[in-house]
Structure 1
Amino acid sequence: MPLSFHKMHANGDDFVVVDARNSANPVTSALARRMGDRHRGIGFNQLAVVLDCEDADARLMFWNTDGSTLDVCGSATRGAADRLMRESNSTSITLRTNRGLLTCQRTSNGKISVSMGPPMFGWSDVPLAHEMDTLVLPLDGGPSACSMGNPHCTYFVDDLTAIDIAAIGPALETHPLFPLRTNVHFVQIIDRKHIRLRIWERWGGIP
């Protein structure tokens, strides 16, 4: 059966959006795996399905490339929000996700911002393999962990150019401490208003 979709990206973080409003959700775990295959499918970091919703403009359901689901994806949310705003000729919409209701707005420069809500710092929210302090993980470099609806491991570094992300990222993503794998962030603080950031994406590598 033919399936319409939109392939989009946000700074290299690529995703697929399937609009399933007014119809049954066509995406299954098996189909998500097939679509996520970069050699024989479409390829994406995350897949977002747009569904009907009674208490928001739409509901979003998210899939990883391995066929598992996640609560939210910021980049895919912005992509879906952009299309829905263009459709309704509006500058603000609310989307329902497993993370809760997310308010999306078009900024003065035409970009989309999403209020993702506060991070969750509980070890079981991330989740981590067992109870521990998420502020300083028992890993080299003492990174921190949190969840924004998906797991994040964050290192604060003095010189971002000295970090070999392609070498470090895969081992951290699949470390036993993270049963659902993790996104890995490397942050260099420039001043109180600016940072430099590089990311190793869970399932996707360097965007």
Structure 2
Amino acid sequence: MHGLGNDFVVIDARTAALPGAMTAAIARALADRRTGIGCDQLILLEPSEAQDFRVRFFNADGSEAGACGNGSRAVALLHGTPATVETGGGPIALEPLEAGARVDMGAARFDWEAIPLAYPMDTARMPVGWETLEGPMAVNVGNPHVVFFVDDALAVELERLGPVIEHDPLFPERVNVNVASLAGPDHLHLRVWERGAGLTRACGTGACATAVAAIRRGLVRSPVRVTLPGGDLVIAWEPSGTIVMSGPAATSFRGTFAWDDYAAGAAT
């Protein structure tokens, strides 16, 4: 499945358990675009005692993320009816729409411990910078983000600076890097370097974090249209409220694979 070109391998293990545990190595092997199925993220659906079901998100490097906005819309479309699901970043509400979905991503968090950062600082305008990228806002929307507002998001060398910021010791759990430019009173252009996946055509949590940051700084009003390389998302948020994201999702194809092939390959 994909959301605006951000693509996923979705494995539904809600009624039939996997032959073995999903590990970072197996997720990485499945995500490999040359020797596996290929994806930005692997999504695993499992039973949940607390919610309708559980959703786990694995990045292409095998690391597990607490949230994935585009992936959540894909799950909503696959499930077919409204649901509240358990994620590593907390429960979220899904509602399928025609050719897409609406997702309540929960509340944004701004405390430095919640991002998390390595030491205390003001997350509304962080007193740090990397070359021309300075004074970002940090937001946790189920996973950690820093948001930089620039004159032209396309002009930023995100392929080079993204991994430097992602792996900076300031971010003990690494971080997603967003660069955005203002396109109108309710419109942003955005590019994202995604933690564990790299430069991506779209990032739903990045769009959420960036819209929230722009609203907090008074740059735009809600709802916000966020234009990414893969297309548009609409983000609605009011202070003290939850973040609601709307946008498309689609099924690319369905298939099967032999678990032992990937488990054996991951073991070696």
TM-score band (shorter)?
A: 0.7 to 0.9
1:160 aligns with 2:153: yes
Is the CA contact (8 Å cut-off) linking 1:16 and 1:76 kept in structure 2? no
- Bigger CA drift: 111-120 or 93-102? 93-102
Contact 2:146 2:176 in 1 (8 A): yes
| Aligned pair partner of 1:64 in 59, 71, 74 | 59
Q: In angstroms, what is the RMSD of aligned CA positions?
A: 1.9
- Change in 2 beyond 3 A, CA 1:156/1:29: same
Deviation at 1:72, TM superposition (A): 1.5
- Which amino acid is 1:134 matched to? T
In structure 2, which of residues 174, 182, 198 is the aligned counterpart of residue 181 of structure 1?
174
For 1:206 and 1:130, how far apart are their aligned partners in 2? 27
Question: Which residue among 192, 195, 198 is the counterpart of 1:202?
Answer: 195
* Larger displacement relative to structure 2 (167-176 or 194-203): 167-176
Picking from 17, 23, 48, the partner of 1:53 is: 48
Kindly report structure 1 stretches of 4+ aligned residues shifted beyond 6 Å. Answer: none
Letter in 1 for 2:112: W
Percent identity over the alignment? 40
1:89-142 Cα distance to aligned partner (Å, 9 max, x none): x3x2222213222111234x5321211012111222212222222122212411
Distance 1:62 1:76 in 2: 8
**What is the TM-score of this pair, normalised by structure 1?**
0.84
Q: Which has the higher contact order (CA 8 A, sep 6+)?
A: 2
Letter in 2 for 1:13: N
Does 2:107 correspond to 1:114?
no
SS of residue matched to 1:81: helix
* Compared CA separation, residues 146 and 169, structure 1 to 2 (3 A): same
Counterpart residue identity of residue 102, structure 1: I
Could you tell me which runs of 5 or more consecutive residues in structure 1 were left unpaired when the two chains were aligned. Answer: 1-7
Query: How many residues align structurally?
Result: 194
Q: Is the 8 A contact 2:61 2:197 kept in 1?
A: no
SS of residue paired to 2:178: strand
CA distance in structure 1 between the partners assigned to 2:79 and 2:44 by the alignment: 13
